[in-house]
Amino acid sequence: MSVDINEICEQSFATHKATLIQDSDRYLIIDWRREDGSVNYYVNYIVDKKRGSLIVSGDLGDSIATWYNHLEPADLKRYIHNDVGYYIGKFQCTSDKYSFDTENILSSIKYHIEDDVVIDYV
């Protein structure tokens, strides 16, 4: 059985409505969510026109793409639609593959914090 991503998207986003939150000289902010207000599959778009950044955040994940120059939303649409690879190349990424050793963290905190500071927060 094959999965058709277009069908899944059509079903998942069928009742989504866009709401313009802000459109100033600097920022364009659009909230896109189900018409019942649910956060299931919601997406928030922030365009920093001056810096040339598109920040996408929401229920399905987050990304930041930056062109480092003035950017009009109409141009941004064209950049993404005509060359998705170029858009992906503008992503700013970090990795969350860092492994935390809980015991080391706790012993370091205990070593570096004086007792009177800890007592103030208890």
In the block, residue with structure tokens 């189900």:
34
* CA–CA separation, 54 and 90 (whole Å): 9
* CA–CA separation, 116 and 103 (whole Å): 22
* CA–CA separation, 46 and 21 (whole Å): 10
Return the sign of the alpha-carbon dihedral for residues 76, 77, 78, 79.
Answer: positive
Return the sign of the alpha-carbon dihedral for residues 65, 69, 75, 79.
Answer: negative
pLDDT in tens for each of the 122 residues of the chain?
A: 556 778 888 888 999 999 999 999 999 999 999 999 888 899 999 999 999 999 999 988 888 888 899 999 988 888 888 888 888 888 866 555 556 666 776 676 666 655 554 445 44
Return the sign of the alpha-carbon dihedral for residues 61, 62, 67, 71.
Answer: positive
- DSSP assignment, residue 69? S
pTM score above 0.75: no
* CA–CA separation, 32 and 13 (whole Å): 9
